[in-house]
Structures are given as structure tokens and as C-alpha cells.
Amino acid sequence: MLKQVLVFLVFINCFYSSAQSFKATQQKCERVKTAYTEKWETLQKELTKQGIDKNNFQLFFRVFKKDKMVEVWLKSNDKKQFQLFKTYNICASSGDLGPKRKQGDNQVPEGFYTVAVFNPYSNYYLSLGVSYPNQSDKILDFNNPGGDIMIHGNCVTIGCLPLTDEYIKEVYVLAVEAKNNGQQTIPIHIFPTRLDDKGMKYLQTNYEKASLIDFWKNLKTGFDYFELHHQLPKVTVDKKGKYVFE
């Protein structure tokens, strides 16, 4: 019983040390501390090599399900455009292309999300929670939409995005740095595949459901904006659950 209480107190300490910076609080957790020890020095060199301010950058994740790929885009706060920093392979997947619509469907969501939680005590080493269900999902889901979608370590999944323990250490450290330096919202855009002409042709050839194709055409508008500008569109949701971009 005493051991359980001590573990709980350490857990609380990792989340609620409000007098310290987010980074300092996170580094009180052993797995985060290990991730920094193993990865941060090399990451700083890579950031500098690519011309990114290692002390002041913003982060954006872009996910392609068919390609089993997570792209990490960064930009220094004094720059307007994001640049591709690294690409990580998703090491296990579940479900099919298409959005997640109910709990237990094994689907990875598709749409426009943010990092909802940092979990240094994940069952899968470290994890970043995806803000599923978002407003669009809530409007379009007629059943219990489920939740707890994560970018995490290990290499198992039911609807999540596993990267292995080694790579989640890098991703987690970058996310902590971005948040610690003032980025309140870290976007995560999840697509079925690259929504260029080749990708749309693949989807239209292999999936006949009109509502699904319309959904992907809606996502394509946001995809195209970032492809053209390397800047994030402002995303809202209308009363029918459709994404609207500014």
C-alpha cells in the first residue's frame, strides 16, 4: 500500500509542479529525464544544422495512415513557414482508411487535431494524446466515439500511432520543448494518405462510398493549404461537421 501511495505522489508531482517550468516538471519523471539524457544533445545539433532556433521553435505533426508515416515539422518563432525536420515510421497499424466513428472500430481518426495531453507514465513508455473526438467528430458520430488516441512508444496498437520507444523519446522531447517555449497548441493533422492528385486517385479508385470521398475532399482543402504555404490554416467546423478553412 505504501509503495502505491509513493508512486501516486511521484505521478502527481510530474503533472502539478506549477511553480516550475513545464520542462522542469516533466523532467522529474524518470522516462522523460531518460529521453532528455539520450536524445536532446543530438536533437539540438540537428536543429542547429537545419537552421532552427533550438531554444524557440513551434511544432506540427502530419500523419499519413496508408504510408504509415508521421512527419515532424518545425519552425523558429521568428519565421513564417514550417520546414520538415524528421519523418518517423508508424510501426504497427489497425483499421482501414477513413475516419474513426465509434468506440471499438479499431480506426485511427482522420482530421485536424491537437496534442491534448503529455503522459510520462504511459503503458506504452511515453505518449502524446490526440484531441479526438474533435468538434467535427462529435457532430458526425452517432455512436459512442471512443477516445484515448495516442502517439506513443512500443509497437502495438488499436487505433493509435506507435513509433517505438526510441523514437517516441525524440518526439516527446520536441513536444516538451515546444510547449515549454510557449506553444500552447500543437497541431496534429491526420490524413488517409497524401491528398495530392495521385493520392485522391487511389482513394477514388479503391473506395466507392460517396460520403467518404466527400469527407476526404474536405480534408484535402486543409492539406493543399499547407502544401502551398507551409503555414497552418485556421480550421473551424460548421454545423454539419464539415471543416472550414481560413
Domain layout of the chain by residue ranges? 39-231
Say what the pTM is.
0.92
Report d(CA 201, CA 196) in Å as an integer.
9
Q: Tell me, what's the pLDDT at 143?
A: 75
At 151, which helix (H) or strand (E)? strand 150-152
- Helix orientation angle between 210-229 and 197-206, rounded to the nearest 10 degrees: 170
Q: Which of 14, 152, 155, 230 is catalytic?
A: 152
Report d(CA 119, CA 15) in Å as an integer.
9
Q: Which of 14, 29, 155, 160 is catalytic?
A: 160
The residues that bridge with 189 in the sheet, in sequence order, are 62, 112
Q: Is-catalytic flag, 160?
A: yes
* Residue 197 one-letter amino acid: D
Name the one residue in this structure whose C-alpha cell is 458526425.
140
At 15, which helix (H) or strand (E)? helix 2-16
Q: Tell me, what's the pLDDT at 14?
A: 67
Provide the residue-wise pLDDT of the chain in tens; the chain has 246 residues.
433 333 344 445 565 555 579 999 999 999 999 999 999 999 999 999 999 999 999 999 999 999 999 999 999 999 999 999 999 999 998 889 999 988 888 899 999 999 999 999 999 999 999 999 999 999 988 778 878 999 999 998 888 999 999 999 999 999 999 999 999 999 999 999 999 999 999 999 999 999 999 999 999 999 999 999 999 999 999 999 999 998
Residues 153 and 124 sit within 8 Å (Cβ to Cβ): yes
Assigned superfamily of 39-231: L,D-transpeptidase catalytic domain-like (2.40.440.10)
Q: For the chain, how many helices (H) and strands (E)?
A: 8, 10
- Nearest Cα to 132, choosing from 86, 77, 190, 209? 190
* Residue 68 one-letter amino acid: K
Q: Tell me, what's the pLDDT at 146?
A: 79
Question: Which triple of cell numbers denotes residue 214?
Answer: 466527400
CB proximity list for 199: less than 8 A, separation 6 or greater? 66, 192, 193
Report d(CA 13, CA 16) in Å as an integer.
5
> For residue 62, which phi and psi values (nearest 5 degrees)?
-130, 125
Q: Is-catalytic flag, 14?
A: no
Report d(CA 202, CA 122) in Å as an integer.
36
